[in-house]
Amino acid sequence: MREGLVRVALVLAPAVAALMPARGQSCAPIQVSASSGTANDNFATATGASTDTVVCGAPNRKVGANAFQGQAFVFRFVSAAWNPEGTLTASDGAANDTFGSSVAIAGDTIIVGAPGKASGTATYQGAVYVFTRSGATWTQQAKLTASDGAAGDNFGCSVAIFGDTAIVGAYGKSGGANFYQGAAYVFVRTGSSWTQQAKLTASDGAANDFFGVSVSLGLDAAAIGADGKTISGATAQGAAYVFKRTGTAWAQQARLVAQDGVAGDYFGTSVSLSGSSLAVGALYKASGANAYQGAGYVFLSSGVSWTQQAKLTASDGGAFDYFGSSCVLSGDSVAFGAPNQTIGANPAQGSAYVYVRSGATWTQQSKLLSAAGLADEWFGASVAFAGSAAVTGAAQQKVGPNVGQGAAYIFGSNIPINIIQQPVSVTNCTQTATAMTITAAGTGPFNYQWQWRAAPAVPAWIPVAAGLNSGGARTFTAANTTGPSLSISGYSQTSGALPFAEFRCLVSNTCGNATSNAATLQVCWCDLNCDQLVDDLDFVFFSGAYNLFECTEPGMPASCPSDFNFDGVVDDVDFAIFATAYDALACPTP
Ligand SMILES: [Ca+2]
Ligand SMILES: [Ca+2]
């Protein structure tokens, strides 16, 4: 049958998917700062958060006449807004305390580190202050100091709290003759009284380990960073230690190092423990030729042993980003700050990256940026999670006329949408229904609206209506037009060029939106029996229609599918179209 047929141009030209970049728009986060802020406060150098409360330390803030005394500021989510709830000041605050260098919150308790606190003539011995909330009022409950405190300990350089247990890092603590070996101290609360439960040191402690530079707490577990640790001769490769509590006794469970650790990584600068997972930052980790780009690591515990699950780096990382300067892990979400990253033309504007875990796989979900967009913001100096919101400190940000005042940003239900599965172009016969599906990541709930166009006949995008849609001489039936998976069926077309139509989806949440790529639906008109081939079986169908000729003829299949050029008759023109597809044997591919 193929001999003697006139070859005509392929009517079903390969469709060109109109690929558009996904537009994950970053919505404006909520900015909080001290209402009384002044230049060089460095507000949000440290940030802690619970579900509805954020605390930001401003360690270099002048209080009264005391330079570098420091304060901390509390904000609470009330009536759909983040409102100031209190200002925390040490009862015995003095110049150079740098109160607010570290902060942590659990429930109605906040602890604040003041590593510069002097004890008599012992400068930089350090202290930690505990505040509790009653109603909306914060009051100092305790001042914590180490049982063996000494000058230069920097006790309070890092803090963490979990229930009625607190841990305090003192990276400057000497171990015998080992300067800067470091230590961490555990305190427990009974009623309103705090007592030291343990002093933790590494089993292999040595000079310049900086053990305690970072700390994190879980249930009967502590993680402690020692970013100066020499590993097998590699100076400042860094390590993180895990300690477990049994009863009231603490014991070292593991020493963790990066699988690809080398000298100078400073692995352990930041740590965050959540359940059986631990995140660790290595802010000076090189990436290829990029010195000091930084990296993050996630370790997983089996209950006894720890293994590295992932190494995370920024998709667009560059040299001197200092990625991993800060980190926070909660469940299957982790964030790392990259405060020295250049954004556009702005050096040290900084950013933070959020990753989510599915199974054992971590995927970058969002890149967070400040709304101000200024050089030297140091955005990402601190990170925290407040429920589903991500909090990021921009500790050097200029606020109004105040250079270095600092601000924090809360990305609530407005974490930018990232479309992680795009709709797929498809070719179908006239009788086969199609679904176009996308998957959006970010903070839900999401609103979906599918759009279509009969490009190039009708190039403007219009919303897909539930039920019958028509335009550009095409009609189809749609369902689930405002869900992630659009159903399309009943294609018909009376004239016009192919492809049949293009579809895309607009996704939005409370403050932002994103548009998916466009996907093409192409209809293989000649595949009359819907088996994805144009072969002899279709020819049998076509022959029957060809012999009947008129679409209105009794016995002609409904909608006259063999009338490929939509002129009301099945004639030699349709036969030529069929012959071309028959020669190709297959439907055109999108
Ligand atoms: Ca077929
Ligand atoms: Ca025809």
pLDDT by residue (tens digit) across 112-121? Answer: 999 999 999 9
pLDDT of residue 14: 26
**Rounded CA separation 236/283 (Å):** 12
- Three-class SS of residue 531? coil
- Surrounding ion ligand 2 within 5 Å at CB are 563, 565, 567, 574
Which pLDDT tens digit goes with each residue over 369-383?
987 889 999 999 999
Q: Ligand 2 center to residue 320 CA distance, Å?
A: 67
**Rounded CA separation 265/254 (Å):** 19
- In this structure, the strands spanning 467-471 and 474-479 are antiparallel
Q: Ligand 2 center to residue 574 CA distance, Å?
A: 5
Q: What is the DSSP string of 475-519?
A: EEEEE-TTSSEEEEEEEEESSSPSS-EEEEEEEE-SS-EEEPPPE
- Closest ligand to C-alpha of residue 531 is 1
State pTM to two decimals.
0.70
Tell me the sheet residues that pair with 336.
327, 353
Helices first, then strands: H and E counts in the chain: 2, 40
- Local confidence band at 26 (pLDDT 50, 70, 90 cut-offs): very low
Please give the residue that has the higher pLDDT: either 151 or 10: 151
What is the number of alpha carbons within 13 Å of residue 123 lying toward its C-beta?
2
Q: Ligand 2 center to residue 578 CA distance, Å?
A: 11
What mean pLDDT do residues 40-68 have? 97
Most confident of 179-193, 437-451, 551-565: 179-193
- Closest ligand to C-alpha of residue 565 is 2
- Residue 136 structure tokens: 């909306």
pLDDT of residue 5: 32
Q: Ligand 1 center to residue 526 CA distance, Å?
A: 7
**Rounded CA separation 271/298 (Å):** 10
Q: Ligand 1 center to residue 2 CA distance, Å?
A: 16
Which pLDDT tens digit goes with each residue over 290-336?
999 999 999 999 988 999 999 999 989 999 999 999 999 999 999 99
**Rounded CA separation 225/211 (Å):** 6
pLDDT of residue 117: 98
pLDDT of 457 above 90: no
Q: Mean pLDDT lowest for which of 19-33, 239-253, 444-458?
A: 19-33
Q: Ligand 2 center to residue 101 CA distance, Å?
A: 79
Q: Ligand 1 center to residue 393 CA distance, Å?
A: 61
Q: Ligand 1 center to residue 422 CA distance, Å?
A: 28
Q: Ligand 2 center to residue 551 CA distance, Å?
A: 9
Helix (H) or strand (E) holding 542: helix 536-548
CA dist 375 to 305, 367, 395, Å? 43, 17, 12
What mean pLDDT do residues 439-460 have? 86
Q: Ligand 2 center to residue 568 CA distance, Å?
A: 6
- Residue 423 near residue 438 (C-beta atoms within 8 A): yes
Tell me the sheet residues that pair with 76.
53, 83
Q: Ligand 1 center to residue 139 CA distance, Å?
A: 78
Q: Mean pLDDT lowest for which of 72-81, 439-448, 489-498?
A: 489-498
Q: Which DSSP symbol is given to 414? A: T
User: Terminal CA-to-CA distance of the chain, rounded, Å?
Assistant: 28
- Residue 332 structure tokens: 């299957």
- Residue 261 structure tokens: 């650790």
- Surrounding ion ligand 1 within 5 Å at CB are 527, 529, 531, 533, 538
Q: Ligand 2 center to residue 472 CA distance, Å?
A: 18
Tell me the sheet residues that pair with 474.
471, 493
Q: Ligand 1 center to residue 454 CA distance, Å?
A: 25
Q: Ligand 1 center to residue 228 CA distance, Å?
A: 69
pLDDT of residue 414: 52
Sheet containing 193-200, strands listed edge to edge, beginning at the edge strand earlier in sequence: 158-162, 165-170, 183-190, 193-200
Rg of the chain over Cα atoms, rounded to whole angstroms, equals 32
- Closest ligand to C-alpha of residue 570 is 2
Q: Which candidate, 197, 202, 254, 249, places its Cα nearest to that of 230?
A: 202
- Residue 382 near residue 406 (C-beta atoms within 8 A): no
- Residue 53 structure tokens: 């409360």
Indicate the residue type of 225.
G
- Closest ligand to C-alpha of residue 539 is 1
Q: Ligand 2 center to residue 468 CA distance, Å?
A: 24
Reported for 566-574, long-range contacts at CB under 8 A and 24+ positions apart, including other chains, are 566/473, 566/493, 566/494, 566/495, 570/542, 570/545, 570/546, 571/546, 574/542, 574/546
308 Cβ contact list (under 8 Å, min separation 6): 256, 258, 259, 297, 298, 299, 300
Most confident of 43-47, 387-391, 441-445, 542-546: 43-47
553 Cβ contact list (under 8 Å, min separation 6): none
- Local confidence band at 17 (pLDDT 50, 70, 90 cut-offs): very low
Instruction: Count the Cβ atoms, other than its own, within 10 Å of residue 369.
Output: 24
Cα 349 versus chain centre, distance: 18
Instruction: Count the Cβ atoms, other than its own, within 10 Å of residue 307.
Output: 11
Q: Ligand 2 center to residue 556 CA distance, Å?
A: 13
Q: Which domains does the chain have, with CATH numbers?
A: 1-25+417-590 (2.60.40.10), 30-416 (2.130.10.130)
Share of the chain above pLDDT 90, in %: 73
**Rounded CA separation 366/383 (Å):** 14
Q: Ligand 1 center to residue 432 CA distance, Å?
A: 12
- Local confidence band at 543 (pLDDT 50, 70, 90 cut-offs): very high
Unique residue bearing structure tokens 């095409």: 474
> What does the H/E/C string look like for 263-278?
CCCCEEEEEEEECCEE
- Residue 20 structure tokens: 């558009």
**Rounded CA separation 536/526 (Å):** 11
Q: Ligand 2 center to residue 464 CA distance, Å?
A: 29
Q: Ligand 2 center to residue 564 CA distance, Å?
A: 6
Mean pLDDT of the chain: 90
Q: Ligand 1 center to residue 537 CA distance, Å?
A: 6
- Closest ligand to C-alpha of residue 560 is 2
Q: Which candidate, 443, 339, 453, places its Cα nearest to that of 24?
A: 443
pLDDT of residue 453: 95
Please give the residue that has the higher pLDDT: either 376 or 432: 376
- Closest ligand to C-alpha of residue 564 is 2
- Residue 25 near residue 49 (C-beta atoms within 8 A): no
Unique residue bearing structure tokens 């709930």: 445
